Chain A
């Protein structure tokens, strides 16, 4: 199997995989609190983005604008989930203090033809920061009896892996785009593989939510 074929196969698997946690989440939606409802919305947005992105790629239409918008929407939804889960006191002011500067940077950097690398880099760093902060908090609090039974641990791990991958990729963005050899396919295949891990981790997390 060539790298290109592996890439296409992984693309379809990655797209299909996001429907697993969505289905589980819809089944358990009655037990959902506000952050879980936000998570469900996020997963649906994620799935719509993935499908649209793939269709645009097939028809060779530039998908950068969609990618740039999705980066901001994804950031806002995940930030909201983290603020809710971490039970931060001044929720709105913290939310706005992160979102307004990011939207400002994103609007300056926005382009229909190029991806917003600075914006996605900042999003990745902030989300990884929140993820590490969450790990640190639960480690110091020691209030969760069995970590692997708690849904947010899985979501948090997924976020860390999911954002670490594009962050590393964004560092080598120039090399990847300049080079049209099989290596770039292989590198993007890693990204798709990371997405697949992300969907799996989300599924495990959603499965850990108790249905009332």
Chain B
């Protein structure tokens, strides 16, 4: 009789334990999913914050460009046009007094030439005409040729497919890629302290690639990320935005061999179709 009661108790206990086990598993799933949702919303918040920062950086980059154009026009074109206006007033007065000297137009023509050159130079900064006409490879080659005028720097430009200057990028993408290259070269010039620079360009059906290697101070991806995230990395933030918008990849190499930066852009969609 006692044995029968014991078995009944064991069965009841066993059933309760099994039932509890199932309940614990169900509770586990509920708690897990709740934690997962929290994690996902945290990730979303971080991503949103990043998006906002990127948007801010884009706006700042645009503002900087506008400011640069405004400064260029103000500093180089405006004084000349003001001077020209003064000259014209003077000519009017001289004409009224019959003291007009036709040679004085020469000076005015020079002023107009200078103003035109100033406007051209601003336009070049907006859209480099060389790039539009000859493409990114020639534009980079041209930039390196100018860089070599600096007697402290030895820069070498190499095209993996010599003679071929066609690239798998649309004009718009070439312009963006060129701006990124300019920003990279500018950063290297300011911070790497190199005396020897080697640029290798390679055009492949799947994308365009530029390798910058130098004998100066290298920087890693982690260090760049840290500077970008800090308040002083405004230029790097806009560079990051440009890279993101182009769906490109900018990789900072440090530690093995010569330090450098590898920049690769996937082929533009229309170029791929072609």
Name the prevailing secondary structure of the A interface residues.
helix
Contact call B10/A146, Cβ cutoff below 8 A: no
Quick one: given A169-B14, A183-B8, are A175 and B35 in contact (CB under 8 Å)? no
| Residue B3 interfacial (CB < 8 Å) | yes
Contact call B11/A161, Cβ cutoff below 8 A: no
Contact call A161/B4, Cβ cutoff below 8 A: no
Contact of A164 among B4, B17, B33, B36 (CB under 8 A): B17
Quick one: given A161-B18, A179-B3, are A187 and B10 in contact (CB under 8 Å)? yes
Most central of B7, B15, B31, B40 by chain A CB within 10 Å? B7
Q: Bin the interface of chain B by size.
A: 20 to 34
Contact call A187/B7, Cβ cutoff below 8 A: yes
Contact call A142/B11, Cβ cutoff below 8 A: no
How distant is B242 from chain A, measured CB to nearest CB, in Å? 32
Q: Bin the interface of chain A by size.
A: 20 to 34
| Residue B134 interfacial (CB < 8 Å) | no
**Nearest residue in A to B8 (C-beta to C-beta)?**
A183
Quick one: given A147-B32, A168-B14, are A161 and B22 in contact (CB under 8 Å)? yes
* Chain A residues within an 8 Å CB radius of B7: 172, 175-176, 179, 181, 183-184, 187
**Nearest residue in B to A193 (C-beta to C-beta)?**
B18
1/0 contact string of B13-28 vs chain A (CB within 8 Å): 1110110011001001
**Nearest residue in B to A187 (C-beta to C-beta)?**
B11
Q: Which residues of B contact A (CB under 8 A)?
A: 3-4, 6-8, 10-11, 13-15, 17-18, 21-22, 25, 28-29, 31-33, 35-36, 39-40
Q: Which residues of A contact B (CB under 8 A)?
A: 135, 138-139, 142, 144-148, 153, 157, 160-161, 164-165, 168-169, 172, 175-176, 178-179, 181, 183-184, 186-187, 190, 194
